[in-house]
Amino acid sequence: MVPLENEELATTIATNNGLDLASTDDLGVAETTQLRKDEGKFKVPSLRNISVRAPYMHDGRFSNLDEVIEHYSTGIQKHENLLSPLLGSDGEPIRFDFTDEEKLALIAFLDTLTDKSMLSDEKYSNPFVEQ
């Protein structure tokens, strides 16, 4: 990476959620900013209609919400640019260790964020698909 002038002033709203221990092939926002502090950071999408927007993560590695929740439960990796709220006071990644009941409750909550009327509204349909 080539450092840019005023690197310390550059910011992004993209974050790293610990998908990988290191970013080697897919650098995320760093591919544009050329900043090491942006390696492995990606834009966070809205939770609206999250239940119907598989696959999940920037690279589609999770095919369902169960896999996403399992990542946050047990799989967060200690990437050097990991989002600070995902780090414990000991500097290690927080793993939420959700119970099966908590996982089901979280999926039920995420399902409430689905706007079924919008999904079936013709004005939002694909104009290139014949009805």
Residue 11: pLDDT band (50, 70, 90) is: low
Q: Where does 8-120 have alpha helices with state H?
A: 30-33, 65-70, 100-111, 116-120
Domains of the chain: 11-117 (1.10.760.10)
DSSP letters of 92-111?
A: SBP-----HHHHHHHHHHHH
Stretch 95-106: mean pLDDT, rounded? 96
Map tokens 């005023």 to a residue.
Answer: 6
Residue 2: pLDDT band (50, 70, 90) is: very low
Q: Which residues of 84-102 are buried (b: 16+ CB within 10 A; e: fewer)?
A: eebeeeeeebeeeebeeee
